[in-house]
């Protein structure tokens, strides 16, 4: 029975895979539709943010972290993808309410396309990291290939949380405002502009250590800085992402037939 369901799902996905690509491209285009700078803003925004944070924390507060601008960018870029991707996925069902009412399309296409469009934008924004690292004299090492692991894990995690949020948002409209606050809290627990080593052993250190996004950022930094990936920060976010994805997809499938009654 499970085998036949899986086969039906794969056939259904193949049938609509071109629509998924179109939805992904549409989301990318809509993001910059009314922007004067357009896609350039994808590169300019993290660069300007990095400059401000480097001046404030690196100069005024006298941070001595090696290649501090790169340190900020590795955290900021991953956090921005997490924040943007989950927020876009959260709104994906209600944003496409008109199409859902009129045409049959597998509903999972909408949060998946939102996650994929955000990931596409994120990959382009990594150009800024490459440029800044080169300007600061950093050279790639064999460990840089390890960056693929936290980046793929980030996509799985954003997709999983996105499915869960998209489902809940149909029934609880205030979730968008709550999630804005939650993502802000996650930002401060992700060590984007400070070093967390001194805080991990404090009373609230567990909030950072067991933050899966912090784990991904840590290993992404390790790869960029030419260090091996840390085992715990490799396994923990992967387990978290897979479990969350299984639960989120199950919950989404269970509730999707009721979406049309609420959107």
pLDDT value, residue 38: 61
pLDDT value, residue 75: 92
Distance of alpha carbon 238 from alpha carbon 217, whole angstroms: 13
Contacts of 257 (CB under 8 A, 6+ apart): none
**Given the structure tokens 């001046």, which residue do they identify?**
55
pLDDT value, residue 86: 96
Contacts of 189 (CB under 8 A, 6+ apart): 207, 208, 211, 213, 214
pLDDT value, residue 173: 86
pLDDT value, residue 106: 86
Contacts of 210 (CB under 8 A, 6+ apart): 236
DSSP string, the chain: -HHHHHHHHHHHHHHHHHHHHHHHHHHHHHHTTT-SSTTHHHHHHHHHHHHHHIIIIIIIS----TTHHHHHHHHHHHHHHHHHHHHHHHHHHHHTHHHHHHS---TTHHHHHHHHHHHHHHHHHHHHHHHHHHHTT----GGGGGGHHHHHHHHHHHHHHHHHHHHHHHH-TTHHHHHHHHHHHHHHTTTSSS--TTTTTSTTHHHHHT-HHHHHHHHHHHHHTT-PPPHHHHHHHHHHHHHHHHHHHHHHHHHGGGHHHH-
Q: Where are the domains of the chain?
A: 2-262
Q: Could you read off the pLDDT tens digit of each residue along the chain, which spans 263 residues? A: 455 666 666 777 777 778 888 888 887 777 666 655 566 767 777 778 878 877 777 665 556 677 888 999 999 999 999 999 999 999 999 988 888 888 888 888 999 999 999 999 899 889 999 999 998 888 889 999 999 999 999 999 999 999 999 999 999 888 999 999 999 999 999 988 888 877 887 878 888 999 999 999 999 999 999 999 999 999 999 999 999 999 999 999 999 888 888 77
**Closest by Cα among 81, 85, 60, 57 to 69:** 57
DSSP string, 218-257: HHHHHHHTT-PPPHHHHHHHHHHHHHHHHHHHHHHHHHGG
pTM above 0.95, yes or no: no
């Amino acid at each position: 029975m499970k085998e036949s369901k899986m086969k039906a799902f794969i056939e259904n996905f193949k049938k609509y895979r071109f629509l998924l690509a179109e939805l992904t491209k549409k989301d990318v285009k809509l993001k910059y539709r009314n922007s004067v700078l357009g896609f350039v803003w994808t590169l300019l925004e993290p660069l300007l943010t990095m400059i401000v944070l480097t001046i404030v924390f690196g100069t005024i507060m006298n941070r001595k972290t090696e290649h501090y601008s790169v340190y900020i960018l590795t955290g900021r870029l991953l956090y921005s993808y997490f924040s943007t991707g989950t927020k876009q996925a959260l709104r994906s069902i209600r944003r496409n309410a008109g199409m859902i009412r009129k045409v049959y399309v597998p509903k999972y296409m909408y949060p998946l396309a939102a996650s994929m469009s955000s990931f596409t934008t994120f990959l382009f924004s990594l150009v800024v990291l490459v440029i800044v690292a080169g300007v600061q004299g950093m050279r790639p090492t064999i460990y840089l290939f390890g960056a693929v692991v936290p980046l793929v894990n980030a996509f799985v995690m954003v997709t999983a949380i996105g499915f869960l949020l998209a489902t809940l948002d149909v029934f609880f409209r205030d979730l968008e405002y709550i999630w804005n606050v939650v993502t802000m809290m996650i930002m401060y627990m992700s060590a984007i502009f400070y070093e967390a080593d001194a805080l991990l052993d404090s009373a609230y250190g567990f909030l950072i250590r067991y933050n899966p996004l912090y784990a991904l950022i840590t290993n992404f930094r390790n790869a960029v800085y030419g260090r091996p990936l840390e085992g715990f920060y490799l396994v923990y976010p992967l387990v978290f992402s897979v479990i969350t994805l299984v639960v989120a997809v199950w919950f989404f499938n269970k509730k999707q037939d009721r979406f049309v009654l609420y959107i």
